[in-house]
Amino acid sequence: MPYYRSVGEVPRKRHTQFRQPDGGLYAEELVGQEGFSSDSSLLYHRHAPTAIVAAEEFTPPAFARVPNLPLKPRHLRTHKLDGTGADPVLGRQYLLANDDVRIAYVLADRPSPLFRDATGDHCLYLESGSLRVESPFGVLEAVAGDYVIIPTSTIHRLVPTGDEPTRLLAVEAAGHIGPPKRYLSVRGQFLEHSPYCERDVRGPDAPLLVDDTDVEVLVRHRRGWTRYVYAHHPFDVVGWDGHMYPWAFSIHDFEPITGRIHQPPPVHQTFQGPNFVICSFVPRKVDYHPDAIPVPYNHHNVDSDEMLFYTGGNYEARRGSGIEQGSISLHPSGFTHGPQPGAAERSIGVDFFDELAVMVDTFRPLDLCDAASACEDSGYAWTWARRP
């Protein structure tokens, strides 16, 4: 994360004696990226964070991946996956994946187990409902429209709250997710042209201080999954400081960049990950050249697949294609895509788009997972031809 936070009790100097009321030392834990060469945070535990009393292999819910063949645009209706509810980690239904990123959807109605993903960061987008994110860093509350970034190897628990169904789009990276580098100074400050800044970002603001014993934690790692039993609860942290922690940002705080003529998707970029980007399409004033055509032109991104998750409003370029709340469109590289027939003409003279969508562009092809087949609208690819 691009700025420093200090929460709870920490000593004045790092790596010096910091004692508990009974005289014993607090146990330091440095959590850092790229060895000791990038962002990190220093946590102070009441008990040793290394103390485990059991470990066994764990088999998570399985899913299969198949190539997008025949190559064609796809439309997935995520709300067709609704069941009786699930937990927001093990209940994820994987839709699309490659070796850089996995994209899943879940309707959650119960807390997740304690979970650590040692393979990469997670970006969660909350379509509806509310969620409490618990971690050694404290509590982070999220509501509809929030992105939540959970750094690699952060032990956390996701707890649905409130009365409305909690719907999550999960983007799981094989690496780190953060703001685009072009938005940041060499020292990590958001620059003036950035569509959001530090004031828009929320982080945990108080320790949790849980003191349970014999606590189970599920860990995804590079060789599979393991279930650990820790001697003491990992949320026994009295204080921490640094630049690496879970944080939230609302899509409603993204300030759109507009112009006289149609602006390309990079102006909507919100985060970057390894070989993919995440963009936010928000309500905005659109093109104000007198001859402007506000909807996108036909385009062929020769290097990337484009996935768009529709999460509110009316998406002008897709009217008439069956797109609805919770829809996901996949437009792969190797295929030219664009607005539905008649959308360009209808958009002339429109001065405002009331749309809300999250886009993931990947630079390697996305495979289809089991849940994608279960909720696909098989007629979507032919909607440009206006044939039955």
The 3-class secondary structure across 188-220, one letter per residue, is CCECCCCCCCHHHEECCCCCCCCCCEEEEEEEE
Whether residues 225 and 357 fall in one domain: no
Q: Read off the pLDDT band of 128 (50, 70, 90).
A: very high
- What's the domain count of the chain? 2
Whether residues 61 and 197 fall in one domain: yes
Tell me whether residue 38 is exposed, middle or buried, using C-beta atoms within 10 angstroms of its C-beta: 0 to 12, 13 to 18, 19 or more: exposed
Model pLDDT for residues 258-295, shown as the tens digit of each residue: 999 989 889 999 999 999 999 999 999 899 899 999 88
Q: Residue 124 has what pLDDT?
A: 98
Tell me whether residue 70 is exposed, middle or buried, using C-beta atoms within 10 angstroms of its C-beta: 0 to 12, 13 to 18, 19 or more: exposed
Whether residues 211 and 288 fall in one domain: no
User: Which of 216, 251, 286 is where one domain is finished?
Assistant: 251
The answer to the question of whether 337 is labelled as a binding residue is yes
Q: Residue 1 has what pLDDT?
A: 65
Q: Residue 388 has what pLDDT?
A: 41
User: Which of 251, 277, 308 is where one domain is finished?
Assistant: 251
The answer to the question of whether 299 is labelled as a binding residue is yes
Q: Stretch 216-242: mean pLDDT, rounded? A: 98
Q: Residue 101 has what pLDDT?
A: 98
Q: Residue 33 has what pLDDT?
A: 92
Whether residues 331 and 202 fall in one domain: no
Asked if residue 238 is part of any domain, the answer here is no
Whether residues 271 and 314 fall in one domain: yes
Whether residues 218 and 360 fall in one domain: no
213 has a pLDDT exceeding 90: yes
The residue range of the domain holding 173 is 50-66+81-233+245-251
Q: How far apart are the first and last CA of the chain?
A: 50
Model pLDDT for residues 334-386, shown as the tens digit of each residue: 988 888 888 888 889 888 889 999 999 999 999 999 999 999 999 999 999 86
Model pLDDT for residues 46-84, shown as the tens digit of each residue: 999 999 999 999 999 999 999 999 999 999 999 999 876
Asked if residue 15 is part of any domain, the answer here is no
Q: Residue 317 has what pLDDT?
A: 62
Q: What is the CATH number for 146?
A: 2.60.120.10
| Burial readout 236-260 (b: 16 or more C-beta within 10 A, e: otherwise) | bbbbbbbbbbbbbbbbebbebebee
Report the catalytic residues: 262
Whether residues 277 and 211 fall in one domain: no
332 has a pLDDT exceeding 80: yes
